[in-house]
Structure 1
Amino acid sequence: MRVLVTGASGFIGRHIVHALARDGHEVIAGVHRASPSRDAPGVQSISIDFAHLLKSLDWLPHLYGVDAVINAVGIIAERRNSRFDDVHRDAPIALFEACRRAGVRKVIQISALGADDSAFSRYHLSKKAADDFLATTDLDWSILQPSLVFGPGGQSSALFCALAALPVIPLVGDGGQKIQPVHVDDLTRTVLRLLKSGAPARLRLPVVGPEPMTLRECLGVLRNWLGSGEAHFIPIPYRWLLAIADRLGAMTATPFNGEALRMLQRGNTGDPDILSARLGLRTEGLASALRNRPGTSAERIYARLFFIIPVLRYALALLWIWSGLTSALFFPESESLELLAATGITGSAAPWVLYGAASLDVVLGVALLTRFHVVLVGLLQLLAMLAYTAVITVSLPEFWLHPFAPIAKNIPILIATLAIMAAEKR
């Protein structure tokens, strides 16, 4: 079967693509930026931008020769060019209408548990709008509503593991929020089952673990899997966290936003017997799935660095900004010009070099703070630090012996910059 998978570069989409290819299907992987050189056997990637394919005619060229469509696109937070209504509602509706026009009968929509009549968040409401439209068509549709999906490469898995690895684990209130995690392999098995000939269609199926567990229990299981020792929890009032999450969500696109926290507080559970009754599939619980795959040293290290890397990026960004502002505004200009004179820079060129270098520091700091081309900015910072260090080493070597170590400090800063660049490439 020739299958178009949208959102193929995302966590769920990647696993679906790999499962389809292993099962012998011909896969068209719809990704934001196609890279044919990285295509696996049986997989062809094409560029698809959900923010712009908002009419059915836009989709028709992508459906030529396609037998089935799986929509796995989803965002947990809005960005400037990715809005819930575009990505979750308008583009999928246009895709489903295009499937009807092109004669593509089989459509599987990866929605979300909670996208139902009780939905209140823009995330769930936008998902529900696309689900409801698909349900009005005469296509052989299936709407899968997974709970929290865990597995290798998942953002939610990484976040929860990072929380579980902290010396003291913060909880939302008492941590009694109910969730029902499902492994990504169980979700892909469900997709493969629905693609088989004679599979039931026109279903809304919750895809959840075998039983609910509290947030506290979930984090305890993950901590045990990571081998991080006994768990110590600290409850944080929900209203405090909500105030912080609302402000963060208004400033930047982050999974820790008010809507996500409200959805967690409401709970996220479903009936696993529905999937069993309709498709004969049973899902595996979190503890059982993790017990069968022990955590690796790389996973343990990543969990411990999850929060450190972004904090390190912010710290370095502020260091560059403060360095530039101090040079331009606070440190006596006369002393700065004396230092420049010691390097051979005098006359009318000196102020230009002084304020030009200060401006460069601020620009590089702001770019790092806003995560603008982090690898390129990191490279420029490395070059700037090496240039500064070389000039001072030649002209003012005594600064290597200064008690405040103004030059020696460049060594750990260089290494920290390389760490941030490496994490960004990942």
Structure 2
Amino acid sequence: MRVVIVGASGFLGRAFAEAFAHRGADLLCTARDADKARAEALWPQTHAQWISADLAEVPPASFWTEHLRPGDVVINAAGVLRERRAGEFDAIHHLGPVQLFDACAAVGVALVIQISALGATPAAASGYYRSKGAADRHLRRCRVASAVVQPSLVWGDEGASANLFASLAVMPMLLLPGGGGQWLQPVHLHDVVAGVLALAEARPVGSRTIAFVGPEPVSLRTYLADLRRQLGYAHQAWVLPLPERLFRWGAMLAGRWKGSFLDAETAGMLLQGNAAPAADLEGWLGRAPRSHRAFIPAHGVPALRRAAWLQWMLPLLRWSVALVWIWTFIVSIGLYPRDQSLALLARVGASGLWAELLLDGAAVFDLALGIGTLALPAAWRSRVLWPLQLALIAFYTAAITWAMPEFWLHPFGPLSKNLPMCAAIGLLWAMEPPSRCRMHAAAPKPP
């Protein structure tokens, strides 16, 4: 059996590829950038081939027929949760898969497993659900054995939804739309993978639609409370109801940030909620799927709790550092008496026009550092901004220590507070994503 995984570099596709690779299956994996995906894959590559394919460009059926073989098991795990440009949902979830499914029928593959979503129908309110539902409908009409897998929220260590819900669960107070009464049926990644493995091995005939869900529905509020308990908190969070209109407005604003899980589309999906019987998945697993009350193993609690808090604290810390630099500019340029600022500069040897230029130039530079903290991309922050800020603080501290050592004894601690400021900048620097070029340079070449 050869397994073809479309979207093998994504969250689900990567998990499927790893599971099949450890079972020794021959794999044909696709990704937008095959070389990059191969270099970053952490599973055995002995029996794996990679090709570049981007469903957003809607490769024609003829492209797929060149790579597919009779008897293949084809898994379409490609998908995006948020559109980066208009029409992306339709291309990646509908038009691209239609070409793939037609090629599968023409070649005579053994089985197509379509990773859809619980709630996906061509008439859904959400563009995400509509595009998935349209592809599902086309696949069911094709002359090929197929399984439309419709997962609910999937919990996995690297999943966007898991990171979001864990970061919500640690908060002592929550504002939830409608008080968190929406029904969910989250399923663990391991159960999704096990279900797909079972389908691929059985290769059933005909067409079927299977809900991949947890053992029981749970409200959003209860789900977060159970996650909070698993993360080691004895007391429940204080939950306040948030008006739906205000929630949608906040989600729309959050959607302006490309790294956000929430936008107007995902907010609507969350408000809709979804649940389904778990009997079909139980049948394929031969057991009940894992309960959401057992999603987090004890050994993973400390790391996940830290990661959840960092989701909140890193942006707050970054804004705090930015405001320190911006406030320093405001104070230096006019709020603090200028003659007293010039008197301080005189003590380090600067006077006259030189002192005036130094005071104004340093203030503008502080402003630039503050704006850069908020506006620069991560790569520039790592390479330039954070080391520059640390070097500047070190220079200020050394100069003041030499000229005005009594500031170390000041009760308000103007110099000693530089220590936690440096620690904060150091943490922000350490938590920036590694440079891609460095990662690729360090990655071993495939045999």
Q: If the length of structure 2 is used for normalisation, what is the TM-score?
A: 0.79
- Measure how far apart 1:101 and its partner are: 5.6
Partner residue in 2 for 1:247: 253
- Measure how far apart 1:146 and its partner are: 0.5
- The structure 1 residue matched to 2:187, chosen from 158, 182, 189, is 182
- Measure how far apart 1:208 and its partner are: 1.0
Q: If the length of structure 1 is used for normalisation, what is the TM-score?
A: 0.82
Show CA shifts across 1:172-218 (max 9, x none). Answer: 32322111111111111111122125424422211111221111221
Partner residue in 2 for 1:306: 311
Q: Distance in 2 between matches of 1:51 and 1:364?
A: 41
Q: 1:247 to 1:63 in 2, by over 3 A?
A: same
CA contact (8 A) 1:119 1:125 kept: yes
For 1:137, the aligned partner's letter is: C
- The structure 1 residue matched to 2:263, chosen from 257, 265, 276, is 257
For 2:80, the aligned partner's letter is: I
Q: Distance in 2 between matches of 1:347 and 1:325?
A: 22
- Measure how far apart 1:337 and its partner are: 7.8
Q: Find the residue that maps to 1:171 and give its secondary structure.
A: strand
For structure 1, list consecutive stretches of 5 or more residues without a partner in the other structure.
none
Q: Find the residue that maps to 1:114 and give its secondary structure.
A: coil
Q: Distance in 2 between matches of 1:360 and 1:101?
A: 64
- 1:271 corresponds to 2:277: yes
- The structure 2 residue matched to 1:42, chosen from 41, 45, 58, is 45
Q: Find the residue that maps to 1:425 and give its secondary structure.
A: coil
Q: Find the residue that maps to 2:147 and give its secondary structure.
A: strand
- Measure how far apart 1:351 and its partner are: 8.5
Q: Distance in 2 between matches of 1:110 and 1:135?
A: 13
Q: Distance in 1 between matches of 2:168 and 2:128?
A: 23
Show CA shifts across 1:95-131 (max 9, x none). Answer: 3345456654532221110112551112211222222
CA RMSD of aligned residues (A): 3.8
- 1:418 corresponds to 2:426: yes
Partner residue in 1 for 2:442: none
- The structure 1 residue matched to 2:100, chosen from 95, 101, 104, is 95
CA contact (8 A) 1:63 1:102 kept: no
Q: Distance in 2 between matches of 1:333 and 1:7?
A: 61
For 2:45, the aligned partner's letter is: G
For 2:141, the aligned partner's letter is: T
- Measure how far apart 1:93 and its partner are: 3.2
CA contact (8 A) 2:29 2:49 kept: yes
Q: Is the radius of gyration larger for structure 1 or structure 2?
A: 2
- 1:234 corresponds to 2:239: yes
Partner residue in 1 for 2:437: none
Q: 1:119 to 1:314 in 2, by over 3 A?
A: farther
Partner residue in 1 for 2:59: 55
- The structure 1 residue matched to 2:171, chosen from 166, 173, 198, is 166
Partner residue in 1 for 2:135: 130
For structure 2, list consecutive stretches of 5 or more residues without a partner in the other structure.
435-447
Q: Distance in 2 between matches of 1:198 and 1:13?
A: 19
- The structure 2 residue matched to 1:157, chosen from 151, 162, 178, is 162
CA contact (8 A) 1:378 1:417 kept: no
For 2:388, the aligned partner's letter is: A
Q: Find the residue that maps to 1:307 and give its secondary structure.
A: helix
Partner residue in 1 for 2:438: none
Show CA shifts across 1:379-401 (max 9, x none). Answer: 42232123323433454432753
Partner residue in 1 for 2:439: none
Partner residue in 2 for 1:191: 196
Partner residue in 2 for 1:15: 15
For 1:54, the aligned partner's letter is: V
CA contact (8 A) 1:205 1:274 kept: yes
Please give the residue correspondences for 1:402-417 in structure 2 after superposition, counting only pairs within 5 Å. Answer: 405-417=413-425
Please give the residue correspondences for 1:67-86 in structure 2 after superposition, counting only pairs within 5 Å. Answer: 67-79=72-84, 83-86=88-91
Partner residue in 2 for 1:217: 222
Please give the residue correspondences for 1:19-30 in structure 2 after superposition, counting only pairs within 5 Å. Answer: 19-30=19-30
Q: Distance in 2 between matches of 1:413 and 1:47?
A: 47
Q: Find the residue that maps to 2:3 and give its secondary structure.
A: strand
CA contact (8 A) 1:131 1:143 kept: yes
Q: 1:394 to 1:311 in 2, by over 3 A?
A: closer
Q: Find the residue that maps to 1:63 and give its secondary structure.
A: coil
Q: Distance in 1 between matches of 2:218 and 2:235?
A: 19
Show CA shifts across 1:149-173 (max 9, x none). Answer: 1132222122222222222344332
Q: 1:134 to 1:348 in 2, by over 3 A?
A: farther
- Measure how far apart 1:269 and its partner are: 0.5
Q: 1:10 to 1:412 in 2, by over 3 A?
A: farther
Q: 1:345 to 1:72 in 2, by over 3 A?
A: farther
Q: 1:117 to 1:51 in 2, by over 3 A?
A: closer
Q: Distance in 2 between matches of 1:9 and 1:18?
A: 11
- Measure how far apart 1:41 and its partner are: 1.5
Q: Distance in 1 between matches of 2:419 and 2:252?
A: 38
Show CA shifts across 1:8-36 (max 9, x none). Answer: 33332222122111222123443455254
Please give the residue correspondences for 1:323-402 in structure 2 after superposition, counting only pairs within 5 Å. Answer: 323=328, 365-366=370-371, 368-370=373-375, 372=377, 374-397=378-401, 398=404, 401=408
Q: 1:280 to 1:18 in 2, by over 3 A?
A: closer
CA contact (8 A) 1:35 1:45 kept: no
For 1:2, the aligned partner's letter is: R
CA contact (8 A) 1:182 1:208 kept: yes
For 2:427, the aligned partner's letter is: A
For 1:56, the aligned partner's letter is: P
Q: 1:305 to 1:275 in 2, by over 3 A?
A: same
Q: 1:178 to 1:132 in 2, by over 3 A?
A: same
